[in-house]
Amino acid sequence: ETGVTQTPRHLVMGMTNKKSLKCEQHLGHNAMYWYKQSAKKPLELMFVYNFKEQTENNSVPSRFSPECPNSSHLFLHLHTLQPEDSALYLCASSQETDQETQYFGPGTRLLVL
């Protein structure tokens, strides 16, 4: 276990649904990240939060909405997703954002029907 937990581990949703992914880190880190991993594609960074402030949004569609209420918790709110959004969504954390090692959670396997 890396000290980063994610729930749910698996999620199936329709295109009109609204759901949220949750990430919690127990490492005392200050930076948290959302990544998307699709088959046969590299890991794609979606969002970065440093001390609860969003510092990066990598041109992610607005149907993905992050929320970081504190340095230990990170959410990804999902609405009106498309089938091509089906992927493994990974949360990671690091002590700071400057070249620090990132530790990954187990991921949420999302299927959009």
Q: Among residues 81, 90, 110, 112, which is the contact residue for another protein, using CB under 8 A? A: 90
CB under 8 A: which stretch of 18-26, 38-46, 61-69, 78-86 binds another protein? Answer: 38-46
Q: Residue 62 and residue 84: Cα distance in Å, rounded?
A: 15
Q: In what order do the strands lie in the sheet with 73-79?
A: 4-7, 18-25, 73-79, 64-70
Q: Residue 53 and residue 34: Cα distance in Å, rounded?
A: 14
Q: Among residues 25, 30, 93, 97, which is the contact residue for another protein, using CB under 8 A? A: 97
Residues that bind another protein (CB under 8 A): 2, 31, 33, 40-43, 45, 48, 50, 55-56, 88, 90, 94, 96-107
